[in-house]
Structure formats: C-alpha cells, structure tokens
Amino acid sequence: DTVLAAATITMKLTSTVCFPRQEIMKWNGWGYSDSKFLFNKKGQAEFTGKRYRLSGMVLPSLQDWFENTFGASVNHKSPATPALNASAVPPASLNEAFVEDLKATGIPFSHEAEDRVFRAHGHCLHEIFALREGKKFERVPDMVVWPNCHSDVVKIVELACKHNVCLIPYGGGTSVTSALECPPEETRCIVSLDTSQMNRILWIDEKNLVAHVEAGIIGQDLERLLNESGYCTGHEPDSMEFSSLGGWVATRASGMKKNVYGNIEDLVIHIKVVTPRGVIEKSCQGPRMSTGPDIHHFILGSEGTLGVVTEVTMKIRPIPEYQKYGSVVFPNFEAGVACLREVAKQRCAPASIRLMDNEQFQFGHALKPQVSSIFTNFVEGLKKFYITKFKGFDPHQLVVATLLFEGDRERVLQHEKQVYDIAATFGGLAAGEDNGQRGYILTFVIAYLRDLGMDYYVVAESFETSVPWDRVLDLCRNVKERINRECKERGVQFQPLTSCRVTQTYDAGACVYFYFAFNYRGLADPVHTYERVEHAAREEILANGGSLSHHHGVGKLRKEWMKESISSLGVGMLQSVKDYVDPDNIFGNRNLL
Amino acid sequence: SVSSSFPFSLLSISSRKQRKNTIRDGFEDILEERRNSSDLKYALRCYAPVLYKGVTPCKANMLKNIVLQSDQLRYVINQVSQESGEAPDIIQEEASVILEEMAHRLQISTVRFFAFALSKAFKTLFQHVCVNEEGIQRLQQAIQEHPVVLLPSHRSYMDFLLMSYILYTYDLALPVIAAGMDFMGMKFVGEMLRMSGAFFIRRSFGGDKLYWAVFSEYVKTMLRNGFAPIEFFLEGTRSRTCKSLTPKLGLLNIVIEPFFKGEVFDVNLVPISISYERILEESLYARELLGVPKPKESTSGLLKARRILSEDYGSIHVYFGQPVSVRSLAQGKVNRSTYNLFPRHIPRKPMEETQSFVNDTAYRIVRLQEDNMVLKPWVLMASLLLQNLEGMELSVLTEQTVWLRGLALSYAAFLDWPDHAPTAKVVSSSLALHRGLACVSGGRVSLVVGEPLGPVTPEEALFNRAVSVLSCASYRNQVLHVFLRPAMLAVAMLHLSDEVYNCFSFLWDMFSNDFILCPGDTVQDFEEACYLLVKTGAVQMPQQDIVMTDIGQPTLSFFNGLLEPFLQGYQVVCRYLCEEASEGLTEKQYIPAVRSFHSVLCVFTGNLRCYEVLSSDMQKNALAALLRMDAVRKVKVADQVTLIVNKMAVNSIDDILGKNRMISHINQTQISPSLSLVAVAEDLCRDGLTPSYIR
C-alpha cells in the first residue's frame, strides 16, 4: 500500500521502451503525458490519469488555496505552446566521419528534432518555461545515440575521441542544475548519449546481498524488478520515477529512506565508468578498502564530466516485512526542528522523517481529495478542533512531521513509540497515518503542480541545502526573508510563497528543502527575475552556513560558487583529474568546474 | 595659486556623488499639546506600541533566565571555572549577580511617572521640543520589521529620558538603554532609571571575561528576540565640547554580531540627532574641561540642580534619521560565511574585516548624527565672537552673521533660522537667551567673564576667562562639522611651502581625534572641500591649481580663524613636549603639566588668547594625534604609563603647524589678529621660566 506501488502499476512500459520517450512523457513539462492537474469547468482542481493515488480525484480546496496564496485567478491563463516548433530547433551539425563509423557499429542513433530537444534540457524553471513559450533554442545536441550495453559505450567513446565529438551522457533527464544544457560555445558536434536502453539487472548475489545493474535503469524499474525477487535497494530519491542509477551516481543522489539504507555513496560497491582514457573500475568488491583516496569519489558527483557510468554493483536488502506511515503536529517550526534534532541525537530516526513548515502543511491540506462520507468530514473537523482549540495550536503556526517506519512489525511499533515519546516532549501530537502519507504524496505530485502553476502565471522552483543543526532555524528564516525582500525589490507584485521542510537528518546537521513560487503577472521577464531571486537565496544560504547543494548537484547553475565552497585548491584538484581523464574535453557538458 | 599633487581628473566625477540629498523633514512641537491638555491624562493614557514581528513582550525575569541558560554564557562560565578552579555553580552565581546589577526592570508605571514629571519639567525649561514626525513613522515601520538600535547623539543627561519620553508620546516601543554605572550611585534615581528601561554597565571591565559575556549576551538576547529597541550612545559619554566624539565600538560590535552570525536577518541602526539650543550643563562642562572635577552623580546634586529650572533653555530638536540597514551596509564588505567554521556560541575576537566594517559604520552613523543636528543662529554668532575676543560692534556682528548664514546654508547646514524675522531681532533674541555668555554694552558685543568678588589672582582671571571662552566654543563647535573640510583646505592653501593636498592630508590626520573624519576618507573629504569652496566662489580650480578668487578672502580668512585655536593648541602641546617635558613624564602627569605650562605662557604675557588649549579634551586629542603619528610613544613601566617623546618628530610637526599659523596671520589680520605663540614661548623658555617656578 505504498505510494509507489500505486504509481508503478501501469509502468510496465519503461523496461521495454523505446527510444522516443516523449510518446509517454511530456515534452514541455513534468512526467507522464496522461497525468496533469487542471481546473475543470466548475473551477475545481483535478488530477488526470490513472497512475497515482490522486489520479482521477477532485481536489476541492486547491483552487482557493491557489488563488489566495498567489493572488492568481483561474480565469487568467498563460497556456503553453501546444507542440514543438521544429523550425525553432537549430539544424543538426553532424560530424560525418563519426556518423559513418557509428553506423558501422550498428548502435541506433537519431537526429530528429524532437529527440534532440527532449535531451537538451533538464527540469529547471528556465528550461521548462522556455519550452512552454516556444522560444528558439540556442544549442541542442546534434544527435542522440542509444547504446545497449557497456561495450557499446566503449565503442561510442572511442569514436568520439577519434573524431573529436562532444558527448553528453543522458540518464533520466531530471536534472535541476542546467547540467544537461549544451554549452552554447561548443562548436563540435554534440552527441547525447542516452543510457535508457542499458536497463537490465545483470545478476543478483544473495550471499553478499548485492546486485549488478546497468546504469541506465530507472529508479522505479530497478525497485520493481528487485521486488520480484524479494529485494529492494531502498534508494528512493523524490525523482525515482524517472531518474536513473547512473544519474544518481553522477550527482551523489540521496534517497528519502537513507536513514535505513544510506545515500548513493553508501550503497554502491563497485562502479564501471567508460572514460576517454579507458575504463575505470576496482578489482574487487571488498566492502571497504584502504587504498588511498577512494576513486569512487572521483566518479560520484562528477556530473558527466569524466565519462559514462555503465554498470553499478549496489547493495540490496530483503523487502521489509512491515511499513507504517505516521505524522506528528508541532505548535511551531522551532519545536519541530528541536524534535528532529533530538531524534537524530538519539540515532533513532525512522526510515524517513520530514518536517514541513506551516506553508507546506497548508499546501498539503489543499491537496485533500473530496471526502465522500459525512462521517470522515466530521472526524476531520473534530481533529482540527482538538488541535487548534483544545490544544491551543495556532493554525498559522503549526507544522507537521511526516514519518515512515520500516522493518518487522514488532520493531516498527516499538520504534514508533520511541519517536512519538520524543515528539511529545517537544509538544508534538500524533496526527495519524493519513497525514503522513499525504505528505509523501506531495513529493511525487509537486512537479506536476508546477506545470499547473505555469498555466496560470505562477512560476515555481525548489532548491536544497544541508546545514549544521544549530543553524537550521536561522537559515530557514533568513532565506525566506531574503526571498520575500528580493521579490519586492525586483517588482514582483504579489507576495511569493516561500516554504521549506527539513527532509533528512544527520548526526551533525540536516538537509533543508525550499519551495519558492510567485505570481509573475506584470513582470516583463519572469524567468530572469526568478533567477536573480534564486541567486540571492543561494548567497543567503551560503552566508548562513548552508552548503552549495545536498543532493541536486552543481551543474552549470551553481558553478560560480564552487571555489568559495571547496577552495580554489580543491577546484584545482578536481580540474587536474579532469585534465588527466579527459584531456580533450570529450565529456564537454562543462558542469561543475 | 597653489599647485596640488592631487589627481583632479577624479574630482568632477566623484564630487558629483558628494552632493548629498539634503532634503530634511519638518518638525512638530510635542510640547504644544502638553501645554493644552492634561499631563495626568497623558501619563495614564493607553499605551500599546507595535512590536517587532508582533512578539510578546518579555518579562525582565524571563529575560534573565534566557541569558543565564544561554549556550554562550554557559560556555564562558565553564571556561572561567576551569581557569580559576572555582566550581561552575559559583561562577554561575557570580554571573547571576552581575546580571542582577546590570539588568533593566522596565515598568510601565515608572514610565508613566516620568511622562508626567518630564512634561512638567520640559514645559518649564524649554520653549519647544521638536520632533520630525516622518522620522517617527520610519522608525515605527523599522521596529516591526527588524531589530532596531537607537543611536542618539549625547550632549546631556537629559538625552535618554528625552528619548523615552518621545517614544512614549508616539506610542512606540520603549527602548532599553545602556547607561554608565555612575548613575547607580544615585540610589533612588538609579532605580527609577532602571525601571524606565536603563541597564547599567561598568565603565571599564577590560579583562573580565565573565562580565563581558553576561553583558554581551544580555544585549544580544534582547536584540535577537526583538523584545525592545536597544539604545546606546556611540560616543560613549556626553560630549563636553559639543563636538561629536570618536565613536566607541564595543556595543556596536555586540549589536551587529547577531547579523553576521545569521541570528537575525538584519539590524537597523537609527541615528538620532538631539540638538539643544542651550545645554543644561553648559558651564559645568567648561569647568570640567578645565580640570575642576566632575561632580559625582548624586541625588542631592540633582536636587540642587533645581535652580536650573528657573532658566530658559530655548528649544530642543530631535531628528530621527533614516534607519540604516546593517545588511545593506555590509553587502560586499564582510563575507558572512567566514563565520561558518566556528561554533557561534564561543566568543571570538571579531575578524579584521569585521572590525574595520564596524569602525566604518560607527563613523558613518556619527556623521549622520552630525548632518541632522539643528543649528541655531547663536552658533554662528559664537563662531564670530570667538575670532574677536576683544569684542565686536553689534552692527558688524549682525552683518557678519548674515554673511555666515549664507555660507552655512550653501554648505547644507541644518540651520533653524526664524522665518520672516528681521536679522537684528534674531541676533538680539539670541543674545538675550545666551546673556550668560555674551553681553552688549555701548553697541559692542563681548564675552561675559565671571568676576568673582574680591581680589583675583592672575590664574583665577585666566580660569574665568577660559570658562567663558570654552562655553562659547561649545556653540562654535556645533557648526564645525559643516565647515571642517573646507576650513582645513583653507588652512592648507594659506600654507604655501607644501603641496595643498599633502598639507590637507596632514591636517586631516592630525585632527582625526578632534573631529569625525571617517577612516580612509581623506581623498573624498578633500574633494568635498574643493567642491564646496568652488561652489561658494571662494576658490577656482583651473587645471591642477587651486586659486583663491577675488571674493574668496573673507571665507578663507574666516575658516582659517575657525581652526586657529586648534592649530595653536596643538602647537602649545608640541612646544611643551619639546621644551618642558621631563624624562619619565607619566600619562597621568601630562594634562596638569600642559595646563600649567600654558598658564605660565598666558599669565606672563597677558595678551595671549589661546584659551582652548587649557581644555583637557584638546590636550588629550593632541596627545592621541602625536601617538598616532609615532612622535610620542607610551611605555609601561611598573604600573605607570610613561610617555617617551621623539623630540625631532614633535619638533617637525610643530614646525608645520607653526608655518601654518604665521601664514594665516598675514592673511587674516582683519578678522583675527593674534600673536605668534611660538615666539612668545621661545622667549619665555629662554628666560628660564618654568611651570614649577610659578607653582
């Protein structure tokens, strides 16, 4: 009964698909073409399709929330360009010799405009906005290749070196760091190397609990296929419906349940990478080694600048016997953070624990589907009365923590009690499984909601950081304030939505995730305004002791802060690795450095 | 014509930036309503100020608990405990006692009492208490958005009661005020002040870690939580001379740090200029500067001061300046992320970058205070009278005052000149208000010198004369910030032997303890000076030259005369150090020694007019300048600090000042004729007269 199970029912397709992903996915928005939010004729919001829990449901409070929060109106539409205008796509400039040699290998490729455009972007606001507006593209890949296995990749990279062609690896396309954007100054032929066909689990080793998997596999497929054998990786980044294993490695991804399973760097045992200098891999699968700096850490987070990750051996776990959602309401954000800090201190964090601020709590509420029974309505009312009137929580202050426990039943219940007891000492009240689960649904539909917003003059984006415990509150407050102030100064006419949640806890700090959205009516260049505000927000984060990124990565969006973040000597170290591994800059996406 | 070694190509661009926006708010008299309605009702009216982001006010006791429980304080308590070997509990108890001694106990009932009592007192003492209401509105806005620090100028004991009175009047959050411990001596009054929001800090607690920790945490806690605006005096103490004092940085550092550490989004600093037409402490200050010890604050002393209630002290103007955002100021100057690598609760010396930022900020705020000081006509008259100590014709005074008014206005002085009143009336009513300082007899205006009954020793006569000169100087000093830069340029121009900019820069450096000159602003100040002198037609600047115009003479002479007492004073100090100072002169002996050295010069020559060097303020500033210029060094021997004089260096400084003066005599005889002090001093020394001989 997980969110994901619901989401994956009809997803048999991907394992058998298919070069043109755009047939089932939007070319100018998030996710599946059949799933989207819209305001129906009655002005009520609904979510189309059949893939998700919310699919086919009417969400009666969303319109009010949307209009009140943004000062937007369902009568003011800003519709997207319906179809890709092929004339807006620059013609492919092909390296004929490369194409000839490639043909000889039999590896499929394409230079259709739609294929190329689809792989020319990730999901940053400016990228999606430009697609919706039908803007002319400055630079897109000149062709796309679909290797089927490791040795195909070796051939492609060899040919690229031979003919001096620029390669940009493409996994799930969910980047939010401009990492997939083609450098406009690149004059060589740019080839997008789409790993989607390398999506097999090659073997499962039950003795050591590891699986050897091709790196193009998409998160949900990996999980589903392993589940068939009774296993899971437990790695569930919010993008797992679409993001790929290779992408996780290349960006140092983090999963929602890292408290039990670890982040990607904890999960990988062995990595195979094809670089212009050859293939990098270790010679054994020892669980830990003292052999100088870990070469995996040159690969993890290399963001496609060194080569292509083709195969990964990663840890697997038996599927947990029991899973339980939960939630706790706190009177305010401060109390909630104090509780999460204590949970981290006692090292008893459940598989997932997240704290949503009041804005996000209200947002979550706006997504409540229509309830059919009067009884449910009544119970809801009673709960609300209990919390706000009886317990004296201010509805404009209260926040909610969502929890997910995993393990054997008995231990889950024990664990649950321990966490609720800690919460109680910070004034937290248990608020039921439903609220918890709804919190996680929000995670999967939030990107769809951004498309809805963009249909009505609202632009939105998220960004994240990690920060020591003692600075969490100050950072959250200052970043929100900075956003509000910057918006005002830059002529945004409406109060922006700024919201944050603490999504991961660590011994020494936490990961904080921000949502930021505003109504852009009256602005000449909303994307530019948005980018300036995000830039200011990132500076504020850094000034308040936050990191440049916890898991999204650097890409090209945050390159300018790399020196400040890791020192120029640090940048030099990375640069010297790049220079050694890829002297001709074949992997020329220009991320990171 | 004088050549300058200054790159004038920069000038036109940057001086354009200089032209400050000098549009200022108008004033409302808050006493007017007090004269027309019940004070009691006013004191008892509903008082419900808006607070920072709607925080609920914090009870004094809760505040103390927050401070005592804070990580910051606990860390220092443990540290002190480890160093001293005392148990943490005992140190904790000590901290608690310090806090008890320090903390305010703001009570609305006490505030109401003051609201009533001060209404009565103000109406008796003052004609008007004027406030710029736009400033109040800005402040109200700022209080809701950010923690606010109120930074008033400090000229009188009255200042902080007046501030609270005004904030109460406008229904604004009452501030907590950092006050010197000396108030605590006044038993009852001290407690009253405490209950009206004052908290008390010891004057010096140099190495006392615990005291510092309690103090800074107390202030920061109030600031971070926005419980109340924090008020303190950047100048650290009341300025006895009415010149702004070099700002003290301790408290400013404390209130700015929470911003750098990200504990607050921003801090707003509000410069407030309180201008008194007549200062209550006027002659008290002059005596203090001349070494008659400051009366200890005592309740009975305050009661004796009742007699001042029978006098007219004119008006007060309180100008609330534009709130200054620390965040905007620090933009690009301080990299906040340097605070990321150190636990925030561990006290640390501010980094160099931060220190210079705080220093800069302090100067800027004091200059903002100066800019919005309201100047009365008397200030201009006092400036003229001091250049004519033998007195001047009333008609000449009137004429020159009008001339000076024009000059001041074109230099953007905030002059409160009565509308539509004939000049003669303005002059005479100013003279009437300040009849204790100047009198008219037989059509001549001269300074009033207190004549004690009975025979007077020459020293007493000198002292009395000096009291009246220093009292008068405290008014002239109020206008100095307007004229200072062009005046230094005027002095530099009349000093032919060196390049103008170098000379300006020398004076700038020399006088940077006496006046508010922002560190590093020499070039900018020079440009401003040029701009202003050109603007008023006193000089022209063809190519690389600065040339006095045909009509420039009166302006330049006036400016020269304006700075004359300072040049003379510094010179006397130099002379003293070169000619007279004994080996092993201690810092403590310095002031009385200079004073008696100078008395000798004066008493024995009879017609020397350099009275201002008798002021301990000038003596200290001169010494500080010489220390800064490495002409004098401090050496600590046992418990004594001894001054080691580099006679060569002092001599050459004296030379430069001396040349200046000689030149200035030639050029300005009609306004301020005076003797060459150096010559007299040299004569005296040759004659073997020493201060000890006189004693």
**What does the pLDDT look like over B87-96, one tens digit per residue?**
999 999 999 9
- Residue A214 and residue A268 in contact, taking contact as beta carbons nearer than 8 Å: no
Burial class (CB in 10 A: 0-12, 13-18, 19+), B37: exposed
What type of residue is A496? P
What's chain A's average pLDDT? 92
> Do A471 and B262 lie within an 8 Å CB cutoff?
yes
B338 shares contact with chain A (CB less than 8 Å):
no
> Do A545 and B339 lie within an 8 Å CB cutoff?
yes
**Residue A134, helix vs strand vs coil:** coil
Of A470, A481, A542, the CB nearest to B265: A481
Question: Is the pLDDT assigned to residue A8 strictly greater than 60?
Answer: no
Average of per-residue pLDDT across B303-316: 73
- What's A200-264 look like in SS3? CEEEEECCCCEEEEECCCEHHHHHHHHHHCCEECCCCCCCCCCCEHHHHHHHCCCCCCHHHHCCH
Looking at beta carbons, which residues of chain B come within 8 Å of A481? 265
Partners of residue A1 on adjacent β-strands: none
Least confident segment among B177-186, B300-309, B376-385, B421-430: B300-309
pLDDT tier, B298 (very low <50, low <70, confident <90, very high otherwise):
low
Nearest residue on chain B to A482, judged by CA atoms?
B265
User: Given this model, what pLDDT does residue B600 score?
Assistant: 72
d(CA B582, CA B643): 10
pLDDT tier, A133 (very low <50, low <70, confident <90, very high otherwise):
very high
Our CA-based measurement puts residue A419 at a distance from the nearest CA of chain B, in whole angstroms, of: 26
Helices (H), A302-371: 333-345, 358-366
d(CA B601, CA B613): 12
pLDDT tier, A11 (very low <50, low <70, confident <90, very high otherwise):
very low
Average of per-residue pLDDT across A398-420: 95
d(CA B637, CA A353): 65
The contacts of residue B687 (CB under 8 Å, 6+ apart) are none
Our CA-based measurement puts residue A544 at a distance from the nearest CA of chain B, in whole angstroms, of: 6
d(CA B218, CA B210): 12
Side-chain half-sphere of B459: how many Cα atoms within 13 Å?
10
Average of per-residue pLDDT across A548-561: 97
Binding residues of A for substrate are 450
Looking at beta carbons, which residues of chain A come within 8 Å of B262? 471, 474-475, 478, 543-545
Our CA-based measurement puts residue A525 at a distance from the nearest CA of chain B, in whole angstroms, of: 25
Average of per-residue pLDDT across B275-303: 75
Our CA-based measurement puts residue B106 at a distance from the nearest CA of chain A, in whole angstroms, of: 28
Each residue of A385-401: b (16+ CB within 10 Å) or e? eebeeeeebeeeebbbb
Our CA-based measurement puts residue A75 at a distance from the nearest CA of chain B, in whole angstroms, of: 35
- Residue A47 and residue A448 in contact, taking contact as beta carbons nearer than 8 Å: yes
User: Given this model, what pLDDT does residue B296 score?
Assistant: 58
The contacts of residue A5 (CB under 8 Å, 6+ apart) are none
Looking at beta carbons, which residues of chain B come within 8 Å of A475? 262
Task: Say which residue, A122 or B604, is predicted with more confidence.
Answer: A122
- Residue A300 and residue A265 in contact, taking contact as beta carbons nearer than 8 Å: yes
> Do A482 and B265 lie within an 8 Å CB cutoff?
yes
Least confident segment among A218-232, B106-120, B574-588: B574-588
User: Given this model, what pLDDT does residue B470 score?
Assistant: 92
B336 shares contact with chain A (CB less than 8 Å):
yes
Nearest residue on chain A to B338, judged by CA atoms?
A543
User: Given this model, what pLDDT does residue B675 score?
Assistant: 33
Looking at beta carbons, which residues of chain A come within 8 Å of B344? 470-471
Burial class (CB in 10 A: 0-12, 13-18, 19+), B297: middle
Least confident segment among A99-113, B41-55, B641-655: B41-55
> Do A475 and B262 lie within an 8 Å CB cutoff?
yes
User: Given this model, what pLDDT does residue B669 score?
Assistant: 32
Nearest residue on chain A to B263, judged by CA atoms?
A474
The contacts of residue B249 (CB under 8 Å, 6+ apart) are B355, B358, B359, B362
Task: Say which residue, B656 or B649, is predicted with more confidence.
Answer: B649
- Tokens representing B467? 């009291």
ipTM score of the complex?
A: 0.89
B344 shares contact with chain A (CB less than 8 Å):
yes
Looking at beta carbons, which residues of chain A come within 8 Å of B335? 543
Q: Which long-range contacts (CB under 8 A, 24 or more apart) does B418-424 make?
A: B418/B377, B423/B398, B424/B398
B633 shares contact with chain A (CB less than 8 Å):
no
State percent of chain A over pLDDT 90. 83
Of A471, A478, A564, the CB nearest to B265: A478
Average of per-residue pLDDT across B379-405: 94
Binding residues of A are 169-175, 251-254, 303-309, 450
Of B262, B335, B343, the CB nearest to A544: B262
Nearest residue on chain A to B345, judged by CA atoms?
A470
Residues of A with CB under 8 A from a CB of B: 470-471, 474-475, 477-478, 481-482, 542-545, 564
User: Given this model, what pLDDT does residue B605 score?
Assistant: 59
Q: What is the pLDDT of residues A446-502, one digit of tens each?
A: 899 999 999 999 999 999 999 999 999 999 999 999 999 999 999 999 999 999 999
Task: Say which residue, A367 or B372, is predicted with more confidence.
Answer: B372
Residue of A396, A481, A563 best to disrupt the B interface, most CBs of B under 10 A: A481
pLDDT tier, B105 (very low <50, low <70, confident <90, very high otherwise):
confident
**Closest listed residue to residue B481, CA positions, set B570, B372, B398:** B372
Question: Is the pLDDT assigned to residue B360 strictly greater than 70?
Answer: yes
User: Given this model, what pLDDT does residue B68 score?
Assistant: 94
> Do B337 and A542 lie within an 8 Å CB cutoff?
yes
Binding residues of A for FAD are 169-175, 251-254, 303-309
Q: What is the pLDDT of residues B500-520, one digit of tens each?
A: 888 899 999 999 999 999 999
User: Given this model, what pLDDT does residue B695 score?
Assistant: 25
Side-chain half-sphere of A150: how many Cα atoms within 13 Å?
18
What's chain B's average pLDDT? 85
d(CA B559, CA B472): 17
Nearest residue on chain A to B261, judged by CA atoms?
A544
The alpha carbon of residue B106 and the mean position of all alpha carbons in its chain are separated, in whole angstroms, by 28
Partners of residue A459 on adjacent β-strands: A518
Residue of A478, A542, A547, A567 best to disrupt the B interface, most CBs of B under 10 A: A478
Looking at beta carbons, which residues of chain B come within 8 Å of A482? 265
Nearest residue on chain B to A479, judged by CA atoms?
B265
Kindly state the helix (H) or strand (E) to which residue A104 belongs, with its residue range.
helix A96-105
The angle, 0 to 180 degrees and rounded to 10, between the axes of the packed helices B88-102 and B209-225 is 60
Of B263, B337, B343, the CB nearest to A474: B263
Least confident segment among A203-212, A240-249, A372-381, B584-593: A372-381
d(CA B497, CA B479): 29
Interface size between A and B, measured as CB pairs under 8 A: 25
Task: Say which residue, B124 or A586, is predicted with more confidence.
Answer: A586
Residues of A assigned a catalytic role: 513
Looking at beta carbons, which residues of chain A come within 8 Å of B339? 545
Nearest residue on chain B to A543, judged by CA atoms?
B337
Q: What is the pLDDT of residues B159-213, one digit of tens each?
A: 989 999 999 999 999 999 998 876 666 778 888 888 889 999 887 777 889 999 9
d(CA B27, CA B6): 42
Our CA-based measurement puts residue A338 at a distance from the nearest CA of chain B, in whole angstroms, of: 15
Question: Is the pLDDT assigned to residue B345 strictly greater than 50?
Answer: yes
Helices (H), B494-552: 500-510, 522-535
Nearest residue on chain B to A480, judged by CA atoms?
B265
Least confident segment among A239-253, A277-291, A372-386: A372-386
Of B263, B336, B344, the CB nearest to A543: B336
Q: What is the pLDDT of residues B56-98, one digit of tens each?
A: 777 888 899 999 999 999 999 999 999 999 999 999 999 999 9
Looking at beta carbons, which residues of chain A come within 8 Å of B261? 474
Of B262, B263, B344, the CB nearest to A543: B262
Looking at beta carbons, which residues of chain A come within 8 Å of B340? 545
B74 shares contact with chain A (CB less than 8 Å):
no
Our CA-based measurement puts residue A315 at a distance from the nearest CA of chain B, in whole angstroms, of: 35
The alpha carbon of residue B376 and the mean position of all alpha carbons in its chain are separated, in whole angstroms, by 17
**Closest listed residue to residue B471, CA positions, set B442, B434, B505, B441:** B434
Of A470, A543, A564, the CB nearest to B344: A470
Task: Name residue, tokens 């991907």.
Answer: A14
Looking at beta carbons, which residues of chain B come within 8 Å of A473? none
User: Given this model, what pLDDT does residue A15 score?
Assistant: 37
> Do A477 and B265 lie within an 8 Å CB cutoff?
yes
Task: Name residue, tokens 């092929």.
Answer: A86
Which range is most confident: A333-347, B27-41, B58-72? A333-347
B339 shares contact with chain A (CB less than 8 Å):
yes
pLDDT tier, A85 (very low <50, low <70, confident <90, very high otherwise):
confident
Task: Name residue, tokens 């840890």.
Answer: A315
Our CA-based measurement puts residue B138 at a distance from the nearest CA of chain A, in whole angstroms, of: 17
User: Given this model, what pLDDT does residue A378 score?
Assistant: 67
User: Given this model, what pLDDT does residue B300 score?
Assistant: 55
Average of per-residue pLDDT across A278-301: 95
